[in-house]
């Protein structure tokens, strides 16, 4: 584990721990406030994220930004990252060994940030953080607390692009997050 951001970020620069490094343009490490009380974890970078080297800048990220704006969440006050730091080909779900290769980077990010709330965006984030026994359809919208961190599983914004009916649930979940976040910050 690394004790500071510089060491952690340097440790991933030339990562070749899995085959996702072969086709990547950029490592998408994360972005935002490195002392945030609120952290969002998604699945992995898409094409736009791979090109720009930033998380959640494509269509799903733009949708998430609209939700943030509507709820008064400022992107610069939170931290956003993914389970895997390199784009899986054709935006497929990361394989278990790919996720495992990146998990120590993510764990170190969480240790350095010390968030009080983590929003798990989709099944991949949920299963890799809390355990394979969790189901996004059963867990979403329900607080889960582990090791002093409150987790809110919800739909990944990309799922909202495929199924508009999930937008209402996503909005309700994020409203709960904002309420809890405001409680913590006051």
Segment 90-140, tens digit of pLDDT: 999 999 999 999 999 999 999 999 999 999 999 999 999 999 999 999 999
Report pTM. Answer: 0.97
Reduce the DSSP state of residue 120 to 3 states and report it. Answer: strand
Nearest-CA neighbor of 150 among 119, 104, 174? 119
The C-alpha atoms of residue 170 and residue 172 are separated, in whole angstroms, by 5
How is the chain split into domains, by residue range?
30-184
For the domain 30-184, what is the CATH superfamily, name and number?
Uracil-DNA glycosylase-like domain (3.40.470.10)
Reported as a single tens digit per residue, the pLDDT across 160-182 is: 999 999 999 999 999 999 999 99
Confidence at residue 184, expressed as pLDDT on a 0 to 100 scale = 87
The two three-digit tokens of residue 99, written as one number: 């996720």
């Amino acid at each position: 584990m690394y004790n500071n951001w510089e060491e952690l970020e340097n440790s991933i620069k030339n990562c070749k721990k899995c085959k996702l490094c072969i086709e990547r343009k950029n490592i998408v490490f994360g972005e935002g406030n490195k002392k945030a009380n609120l952290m969002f974890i998604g699945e992995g970078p898409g094409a736009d994220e791979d090109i720009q080297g930033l998380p959640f800048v494509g269509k799903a990220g733009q949708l998430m930004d609209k939700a943030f704006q509507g709820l008064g969440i400022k992107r610069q006050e939170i931290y956003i990252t993914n389970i895997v730091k390199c784009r899986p080909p054709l935006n497929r779900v990361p394989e278990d060994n790919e996720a495992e290769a990146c998990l120590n980077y993510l764990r170190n990010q969480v240790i350095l940030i010390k968030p009080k709330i983590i929003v798990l965006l989709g099944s991949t984030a949920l299963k890799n953080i809390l355990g394979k026994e969790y189901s996004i359809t059963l867990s979403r919208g329900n607080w889960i607390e582990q090791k002093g961190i409150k987790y809110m599983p919800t739909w990944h914004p990309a799922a909202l692009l495929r199924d508009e009916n999930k937008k209402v649930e996503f909005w309700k979940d994020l409203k709960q997050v904002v309420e809890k976040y405001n409680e913590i910050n006051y």
